[in-house]
Amino acid sequence: MIPEIGHYALVLALCIAIIQATLPLIGAQRGIPSWIAVAKPAAQAQFFFTLLSFVLLTYAFVTNDFSVKYVASNSNTQLPIQYKISAVWGAHEGSLLLWVLILNAWAAAVSWFSRSVPAQMTARVLSVMGMVSIGFLLFTLITSNPFDRIFPVPMDGRDLNPLLQDFGLVIHPPMLYMGYVGFSVAFAFAIAAMLGGRLDAAWARWSRPWTQMAWVFLTIGIALGSWWAYYELGWGGWWFWDPVENASFQPWLVGTALLHSLAVTEQRGIFKAWTVLLAIFTFSLSLLGTFLVRSGVLTSVHAFASDPERGVFILMFLLVVVGGSLALFAWRGPQIKSHGKFELMSKETALLVNNILLVVAACAILLGTVYPLILDAMDLGKISVGPPYFNFVFIPLTAPLAVLAAFGVLARWRKTDFMDILKRLKLVLIAAVVLGVLWPLSVSGGVNGDLTLGAVFGGVLAAWVMLSSAYIVYDRARRKSDLLAGFRSIPLAFYGMTLAHMGIGVFIAGVTLTSLYSVEKDLRMAPGDVYETNGYQFRFVGTKGHNGPNFHADRGTVEVLKDDVVVMTLHPEKRIYTVTRMPMTEAAIDPGLFRDLYVALGEPVGQGDAWAVRIYHKPYIRWIWLGGIFMGLGGILAASDRRYRMGAKARRTAVLKAPAGGAEARA
């Protein structure tokens, strides 16, 4: 009975979505207040019913209701409770339900937190989100109903894929989806503005905090995925240019461009059409990502068995969304006028360059990801594009971004003198060059020997971004007579931006030092064998049997010695999950701010107790995710700036009172 209620709740949600998508929109176009007023309660009711449905599916998992096919395929009585809950979104059907739930959560949030936005605008926004919701609810109900029953009822479930039985996978998909789906708000605002024919600075200001929060979730989601791949897949990589990774990275790149162009549109009232296009493309790329992951067309660690009918549905939906919104743009676009002039040398140009580089980088990745699929679909052969391509195009396109960030921040609107900015940053530049050489040198420390050009390049770039960001904050605070008061007078949004930029620097440092100075060794080790690297001696002691709740394991013991003293003992495991019979490598990692020690077991080799053992020394790898955390925190700070929370009236007076230099502050 309970699963049927869950199913029924979804159907109700679909009915409400249809109302939400139509009535408020017609009301807004025709000016019927009572129809406009339907929007908010509808969004909240839809959220309630999808939440109910989600809770009931979770209940089916927790109570081991194996009469539900989805539960039987993805759970087991022996599965620990936290994984029973995360198994709800462990496979296709449930993750779609999560998608819809999050979409409706965002819509409900819009209905709650948009008091300063005119009711007409909110009605249009919620209408557009209702349309997206219709698409996904139909998709769920028609092709992938998680509440389908199975008969005869199996005695026990087939267990959750062991790879997903992990904390990282408990939170990675919800975070990523919060990001993907969050961009639907920015998309809905853009479409609503076009429908209403009102594309002004106010529109950009309303949609900015939403875009920032979506971006934060996507950033954290991608970083979590990378972290999970590093420790769970057992080969210690943090990014593979895997098509599915690319699928999440494209909306991130275009979304980052959107953040910056929204700033220009809000502050200066220009780039309007471009901003609208970016909002459309960011969400479209999010949908494309969903399509790529969920259709099974890709060869990837994320690709799971699936049904081709589903892929076709998402592809059609994608075409409707992209086609429909571009058609609207073609119709309304010519009416979008940008006022305001700017010189070639100005903040506007700097942000334009930022946008171009980000979008071109996204296109280059799109080419490498989608081209093989198109070729395959047309039966022209099967190809794949290797990581060297992505590295080759991505680094030259994004390195200038890191160089230009400080100039962009310091530049003035309308007209600026970049030579003058360079003069101000002269000392920072010198410090960055010195640090950029010393830093890799301290890591290579004679062990790996050479200081390569790449290391110096990455080091200088990282140091430059971090030092210049810090300098810019100091420089602004210094303008006040009292430094402390100066720091206090800087708006949160500015701190947020600085922190996010610093995150880029931290990330570059991590990527450079890890990629160039990691030691990665696959060895055959018999008990007693020792391998030495970077001042650590790894002594393989042996393996022992060990039983977990739903797996058996060979548990290895590796002692790590420094100067002949045991400093730690690592226990990598090779597990066999009892239900699925799936083997899993559980790496043992000693994390550190400046280096990770990573040990994983391969398989037994030859007679005796020898094993294939993987030993890695990875300097600064944590900085890659630390950078992601910085960016995420920066985004949260920026979104919580008080000017987004001020009522419309208060804002108007604040704008009038803002000092002349205020424009720069609010970039």
Q: Which residues bind another protein (CB under 8 A)?
A: 161, 163, 234-235, 296-299, 301, 303-305, 344, 360, 364, 367-368, 376, 381-389, 392-393, 396-397, 522-524, 580, 582-585, 600, 602-603, 605-607, 612, 614
Of 98, 97, 87, whose CA–CA distance to 65 is shortest? 87
**Closer to another protein by Cβ: residue 160 or 186:** 160
Shortest Å, Cβ 140 to another protein: 21
- φ/ψ region of 613 (left if φ > 0, alpha if ψ in -120 to 50, else beta) reads beta
**Closer to another protein by Cβ: residue 141 or 303:** 303
Shortest Å, Cβ 92 to another protein: 11
**Closer to another protein by Cβ: residue 414 or 480:** 414
Shortest Å, Cβ 299 to another protein: 5
Rg (CA), the chain: 27
**Closer to another protein by Cβ: residue 386 or 591:** 386
Question: Residue 73 has which token pair?
Answer: 């395929």
Give residue 177's Cα distance to chain centre. Answer: 8
φ/ψ of 483, rounded to 5, equals -60, -40
- Please say whether the beta carbons of 495 and 474 come within 8 A: no
| Residues counted in the chain | 667
Shortest Å, Cβ 341 to another protein: 14
- φ/ψ region of 532 (left if φ > 0, alpha if ψ in -120 to 50, else beta) reads beta
Shortest Å, Cβ 578 to another protein: 14
Shortest Å, Cβ 388 to another protein: 5
Distance (Å, rounded) from C-alpha 541 to C-alpha 558? Answer: 6
How far apart, in Å, do the first and last CA atoms of the chain sit? 55
Shortest Å, Cβ 392 to another protein: 4
**Closer to another protein by Cβ: residue 236 or 458:** 236
Shortest Å, Cβ 276 to another protein: 24
Of 337, 286, 334, 281, whose CA–CA distance to 314 is shortest? 286
Angle at 478 between CA 400 and CA 429, to 5 degrees: 30
Half-sphere exposure at residue 526, Cβ-oriented, CA atoms within 13 angstroms: 3
Distance (Å, rounded) from C-alpha 530 to C-alpha 558? Answer: 9
**Closer to another protein by Cβ: residue 381 or 449:** 381
Q: What is the DSSP letter of 479?
A: T
Sorted by sequence, the CB contacts under 8 Å of residue 25 that are 6+ apart come out as 123, 124, 127, 128, 195
Of 358, 595, 401, 381, whose CA–CA distance to 501 is shortest? 401
Of 124, 119, 122, 128, whose CA–CA distance to 109 is shortest? 122
